[in-house]
């Protein structure tokens, strides 16, 4: 391990001298190669290494590993849930957020703990440093600076489904190939990426970085025959903080007491009083005017014909919702940074017009731009070509994660990266692939949506996408994922596992203690004073029943029964949340069971839907043929799918499945996929 560290250090130092000297210092054979050092790549590399795979991370610039390319923030509603889950599986981004956060707040505080959104503004420098030092200290992980030119593929293993098998990569410098059992591609916006500002375009995936990997693009499209689509995104100009009149904006203070993202942390690196504020301001009619006047000079926005349903830029906002005030958040970029990030002002017009636009906002009337905003267009691989383990269906050992799968956002990238890394590692170690159920995690929802339905616009997580939102809460992500992450997946370290198990046991004890105190409602009223209980006087209620009431806190109960409850004070908030949601989650458990059983019924990947001898409409056949859902569950959620169609499909699969089970190779994969069910088939944690 020390050798590896030194190795990375030497390499890192060397990289300043020459950016292409990598191969001399690397082995020629790895278990897993991860291409890309963003949120997906770093999580993938770290997860594969945690699993026990010898892992190589290749990035164009070691210095940009862990860079926040766009907004200086992490988490939020839906995204915060993803961060908690990545952390529960021992990923990096939660702890990195705790180390780099300079402004913590729980969004949706007033709307119910299931939809609370832990969020933080980040210090870019601290975030990068944390991720880099974390990778540095990860055993079995090597980092190499270089550009991948080609993906090496060979004949598939005939025992497994697929037409190709990945064998490694070759770098741009034309040196010898680096071989591996699996490869994870996390190339972000660099796949045939081009940058847009005003009327000028240039090739690239991020301003200031090297061009994108044309050779890789070619392999994916031509050699592997993967379907790709094109997506667009953008970033706002960065503003010099000193030039902003913050007295004209509304101050947004952070939470007084920062809440860490990570289940391992009790406090954040930034002290409560060191936190920085954000500022809120609004667009004016002048902003709209500048946008309209500059449309003809704005290539990116002109090509917006089949744009996303949401509004990715200020241009699209004012063009689609004219005559309105739009919010602009002025966010700090770090403790020592002299810049502000104007969230909501992503734009692609020429720089001089960007300045004019900014200055139409009162607080920004003297604003100076450090770097202008720009747009990016890039290729993504239609994710319906992936399995729930994020492997390309046609290519054994090739995994994709992040924007290459059509998502947007750090958290979405990190979640996929972690899961792709897990499965790349498992494949290299000859373990069967695994899938996460959408009944168990947002990561499961994310991946199931991607591979089951595909994307037409950059995919972002919302809590409304999760059917079992009241169960998939930020507070219980550790109970949902950590024990399995250790026991079955292998991506969780012992330290975290022990902590999660002790929390689980503690909560379970506390719940039992709460249930053991039972009184009539009259007696509860006497004990707790003025609380309104709807039950009639003689009904007996236990402590858990009582904790469901809005006005009842665990502290109140503990003071009424100090001898048996006071030892559980540390869990008071989690107990309260559990008490409120438990009855609803129990009601949903049958529906969860149904979805899980549909998820575990895999559909053969080579099914000929167009001529299947069952009663299906042509329309449904075409949908199925296009998307090729991995499981019956995914088929059920396809738009346009009819209930009758599902029944016929189910009957057909059950009929033919039984006949073929022992004869055909492809069923090996469905049996393997069946094992993934074990990961999901759990009861609601902390059963009574």
Partner 1 sequence: IFFVHRASPSARGLCIPTRAVCDAETIFALSSGHGRCGVAVVRVSGPASSMVLRNMAGLTQALPPPRTALLRRITDPKSKELLDRGLVLWFKGSLEGVRPAEAGEFTRRAFHAGKLGLTEVEGLGDLIHAETEAQRRQALRQMDGELGRLYQDWSYRLKRCLAHVEAFIDFSEDELIEDGVLNQVDSSVRQLETEIERHLKDERRGERLRTGVQVVIAGATNAGKSSLLNTHRVPPSRGTTRRPLVEREGVRRARQRVEQADLTLVVVDSTQLPPDPQLVAAFLQQHLSTVLPSPEAGMTAASDKVLLVLNKSDLVPEEQRERTEGELRERPGLPPACFLSCSTSTGLEDFLTVLQSRVKTLCGDPLSGAPSLTQARHRAHLQQSVQALNQYHQYRDQDLALAAEGVRLALTHLGRITGRVGAEEILDIIFRDFCIGK
Q: Are 216 and 149 in contact (CB under 8 A)?
A: yes
Choose between 32 and 641: whose C-beta lies nearer to partner 1. Answer: 641
Choose between 311 and 335: whose C-beta lies nearer to partner 1. Answer: 311
Choose between 433 and 474: whose C-beta lies nearer to partner 1. Answer: 474
Choose between 134 and 315: whose C-beta lies nearer to partner 1. Answer: 315
320 part of the interface to partner 1, by CB under 8 A: yes
31 Cβ contact list (under 8 Å, min separation 6): 48, 53, 54, 55, 180, 181, 182, 425, 428, 429
Q: How far apart are CA 259 and CA 272, in angstroms?
A: 10
User: Measuring CA to CA, which residue among 548, 571, 401, 609 is closest to residue 475?
Assistant: 571
Q: Are 572 and 565 in contact (CB under 8 A)?
A: no
Q: How far apart are CA 662 and CA 679, in angstroms?
A: 24
- Tell the smallest beta-carbon distance from residue 325 to partner 1 (Å): 7
- Tell the smallest beta-carbon distance from residue 199 to partner 1 (Å): 22
Residue 282 to residues 70, 75, 237: CA-CA distances in angstroms? 21, 23, 16
- Tell the smallest beta-carbon distance from residue 509 to partner 1 (Å): 26
Q: Are 331 and 121 in contact (CB under 8 A)?
A: yes
Choose between 60 and 81: whose C-beta lies nearer to partner 1. Answer: 81
- Tell the smallest beta-carbon distance from residue 335 to partner 1 (Å): 23
Among 230, 296, 324, 661, binds partner 1 (CB under 8 A): 324
Among 5, 221, 289, 326, binds partner 1 (CB under 8 A): 326
Residues 225-244 that bind partner 1 (CB under 8 A): 233-234
- The residue length of the chain stands at 688
User: Measuring CA to CA, which residue among 666, 631, 249 is closest to residue 453?
Assistant: 631
Choose between 132 and 233: whose C-beta lies nearer to partner 1. Answer: 233
458 Cβ contact list (under 8 Å, min separation 6): 231, 233, 308, 312, 403, 406, 407, 408
- Tell the smallest beta-carbon distance from residue 299 to partner 1 (Å): 19
174 part of the interface to partner 1, by CB under 8 A: no
Residues 395-424 that bind partner 1 (CB under 8 A): 408
274 part of the interface to partner 1, by CB under 8 A: no
User: Per CB under 8 A, which region of 105-113, 268-276, 421-429, 601-609 contacts partner 1?
Assistant: 105-113
Among 7, 241, 370, 465, binds partner 1 (CB under 8 A): 465
Residues 545-574 that bind partner 1 (CB under 8 A): 550
**229-243 burial: b if 16+ Cβ within 10 Å, else e:** eebbbbbbbbbebeb
Instruction: Give the CA count within 13 Å in the CB-facing half-sphere of 78.
Output: 15
Q: How many CB atoms lie within 10 A of CB 564?
A: 16
Q: How far apart are CA 32 and CA 422, in angstroms?
A: 10
Among 10, 111, 661, 665, binds partner 1 (CB under 8 A): 111
Choose between 502 and 573: whose C-beta lies nearer to partner 1. Answer: 573
Choose between 49 and 461: whose C-beta lies nearer to partner 1. Answer: 461
User: Measuring CA to CA, which residue among 359, 373, 236 is closest to residue 289?
Assistant: 359
Q: How far apart are CA 105 and CA 160, in angstroms?
A: 47
User: Per CB under 8 A, which region of 27-35, 112-120, 158-166, 242-250 contacts partner 1?
Assistant: 112-120
327 part of the interface to partner 1, by CB under 8 A: yes
Tell me the number of residues near partner 1 by CB under 8 A. 55
115 part of the interface to partner 1, by CB under 8 A: yes
Q: How far apart are CA 568 and CA 508, in angstroms?
A: 10
Choose between 269 and 469: whose C-beta lies nearer to partner 1. Answer: 469
User: Per CB under 8 A, which region of 339-347, 385-393, 523-531, 668-676 contacts partner 1?
Assistant: 339-347
471 part of the interface to partner 1, by CB under 8 A: no
What Rg, from alpha-carbon coordinates, does the chain have?
26
Choose between 65 and 620: whose C-beta lies nearer to partner 1. Answer: 620
Choose between 179 and 556: whose C-beta lies nearer to partner 1. Answer: 556
- Tell the smallest beta-carbon distance from residue 64 to partner 1 (Å): 21
470 part of the interface to partner 1, by CB under 8 A: yes
Residue 103 to residues 73, 327, 341: CA-CA distances in angstroms? 9, 19, 14
CA 561, 564, 565, 566 dihedral sign is positive
Q: How many CB atoms lie within 10 A of CB 672?
A: 17
CA 446, 454, 228, 673 dihedral sign is positive
113 part of the interface to partner 1, by CB under 8 A: yes
Choose between 256 and 325: whose C-beta lies nearer to partner 1. Answer: 325
CA 579, 584, 588, 592 dihedral sign is negative
Region label for 365, one of left (φ > 0), alpha (ψ between -120 and 50) or beta (otherwise) = alpha
- Tell the smallest beta-carbon distance from residue 422 to partner 1 (Å): 26
User: Measuring CA to CA, which residue among 212, 169, 664, 673 is closest to residue 397?
Assistant: 169
Residues 609-648 that bind partner 1 (CB under 8 A): 615-617, 619-620, 637, 639, 642-645, 648
- Tell the smallest beta-carbon distance from residue 549 to partner 1 (Å): 10
User: Per CB under 8 A, which region of 486-494, 566-574, 580-588, 594-602 contacts partner 1?
Assistant: 580-588
- Tell the smallest beta-carbon distance from residue 209 to partner 1 (Å): 20
Among 14, 179, 240, 311, binds partner 1 (CB under 8 A): 311
Among 317, 496, 574, 582, binds partner 1 (CB under 8 A): 317
78 part of the interface to partner 1, by CB under 8 A: yes
CA 505 from centroid of its chain's CA atoms? 28
Among 133, 199, 202, 310, binds partner 1 (CB under 8 A): 310
User: Measuring CA to CA, which residue among 50, 17, 32 is closest to residue 143?
Assistant: 32
Choose between 343 and 667: whose C-beta lies nearer to partner 1. Answer: 343
Q: How far apart are CA 571 and CA 577, in angstroms?
A: 10
Choose between 242 and 551: whose C-beta lies nearer to partner 1. Answer: 551
User: Measuring CA to CA, which residue among 656, 626, 677 is closest to residue 452?
Assistant: 626
- Tell the smallest beta-carbon distance from residue 490 to partner 1 (Å): 31
Q: Are 139 and 157 in contact (CB under 8 A)?
A: no
Q: Name the pairing type of β-strands 117-122 and 164-171.
A: unpaired
Residues at the interface with partner 1 (CB under 8 A): 76-78, 107-108, 110-115, 117, 233-234, 309-313, 317, 320-321, 324-327, 329, 343-344, 346, 408, 453, 462-465, 467, 469-470, 550, 580-581, 584, 615-617, 619-620, 637, 639, 642-645, 648
């Amino acid at each position: 391990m020390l050798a590896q560290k030194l190795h990375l250090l030497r390499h890192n130092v060397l990289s300043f001298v020459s950016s292409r000297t990598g191969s001399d210092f690397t082995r020629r054979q790895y278990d897993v190669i991860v291409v890309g050092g963003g949120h997906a790549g770093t999580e993938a590399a770290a997860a594969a290494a945690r699993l026990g795979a010898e892992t190589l991370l290749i990035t164009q610039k070691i210095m940009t590993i862990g860079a926040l390319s766009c907004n200086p923030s992490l988490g939020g509603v839906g995204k915060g849930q993803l961060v908690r889950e990545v952390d529960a599986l021992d990923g990096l981004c939660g702890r990195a957020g705790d180390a780099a956060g300079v402004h913590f707040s729980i969004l949706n505080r007033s709307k119910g703990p299931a939809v609370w959104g832990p969020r933080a503004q980040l210090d870019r420098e601290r975030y990068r440093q944390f991720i880099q030092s974390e990778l540095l200290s990860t055993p079995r992980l090597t980092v190499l600076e270089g550009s991948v030119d080609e993906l090496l593929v060979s004949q598939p293993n005939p025992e497994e489904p697929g037409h190709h098998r990945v064998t490694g990569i070759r770098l741009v410098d034309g040196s010898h190939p680096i071989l591996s059992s699996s490869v994870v591609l996390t190339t972000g916006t660099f796949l045939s990426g081009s940058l847009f500002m005003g009327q000028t375009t240039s090739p690239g995936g991020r301003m200031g970085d090297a061009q994108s990997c044309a050779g890789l693009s070619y392999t994916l499209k031509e050699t592997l025959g993967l379907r790709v689509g094109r997506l667009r995104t953008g970033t706002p100009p960065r503003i010099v903080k000193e030039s902003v009149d913050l007295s004209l904006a509304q101050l947004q203070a952070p939470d007084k007491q920062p809440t860490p993202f990570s289940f391992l942390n009790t406090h954040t690196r930034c002290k409560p009083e060191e936190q920085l504020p954000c500022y809120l301001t609004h667009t004016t009619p002048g902003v709209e005017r500048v946008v309209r006047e500059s449309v003809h000079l704005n290539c990116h926005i002109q090509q917006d014909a089949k744009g996303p349903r949401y509004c990715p830029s200020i241009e699209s906002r004012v063009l689609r919702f004219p005559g309105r005030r739009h919010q602009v958040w002025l966010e700090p970029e770090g403790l020592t940074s002299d810049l502000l990030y104007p969230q909501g002002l992503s734009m692609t017009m020429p720089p001089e017009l960007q300045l004019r636009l900014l200055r139409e906002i009162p607080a920004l009337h003297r604003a100076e731009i450090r770097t202008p905003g720009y747009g990016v267009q890039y290729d993504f691989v239609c994710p319906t070509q992936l399995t729930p383990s994020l492997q390309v269906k046609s290519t054994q050992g090739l995994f994709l994660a992040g924007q290459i799968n059509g998502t947007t956002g750090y958290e979405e990238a990190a979640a996929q990266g972690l899961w792709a890394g897990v499965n790349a590692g498992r494949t290299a170690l000859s373990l069967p692939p695994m899938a996460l159920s959408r009944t168990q995690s947002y990561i499961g929802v994310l991946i199931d949506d991607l591979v089951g339905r595909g994307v037409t616009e950059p995919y972002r997580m919302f809590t409304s996408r999760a059917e079992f939102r009241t169960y998939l809460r930020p507070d219980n992500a550790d109970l949902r994922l950590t024990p399995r992450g250790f026991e079955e997946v292998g991506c969780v370290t012992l330290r975290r596992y022990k902590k999660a198990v002790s929390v689980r046991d503690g909560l379970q004890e506390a719940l039992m203690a709460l249930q053991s105190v039972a009184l009539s409602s009259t007696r509860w009223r006497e004990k707790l004073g003025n609380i309104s209980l709807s039950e009639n006087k003689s009904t007996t209620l236990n402590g858990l029943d009582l904790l469901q009431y809005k006005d009842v806190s665990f502290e109140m109960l503990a003071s009424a029964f100090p001898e048996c409850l006071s030892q559980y004070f540390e869990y008071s908030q989690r107990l309260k949340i559990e008490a409120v949601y438990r009855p609803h989650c129990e009601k949903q458990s049958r529906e969860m069971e149904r979805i899980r059983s549909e998820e575990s019924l895999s559909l053969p990947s080579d099914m000929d839907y167009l001529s299947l001898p069952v009663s299906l409409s042509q329309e449904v056949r075409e949908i199925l043929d296009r998307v090729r859902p991995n499981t019956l569950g995914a088929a059920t959620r396809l738009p346009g799918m009819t209930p009758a169609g599902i029944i016929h499909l189910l009957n057909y699969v059950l009929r033919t499945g039984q006949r073929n089970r022992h004869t055909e190779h492809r069923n090996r994969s469905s049996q393997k996929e069946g094992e993934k069910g074990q990961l999901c088939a759990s009861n609601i944690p902390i059963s009574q």
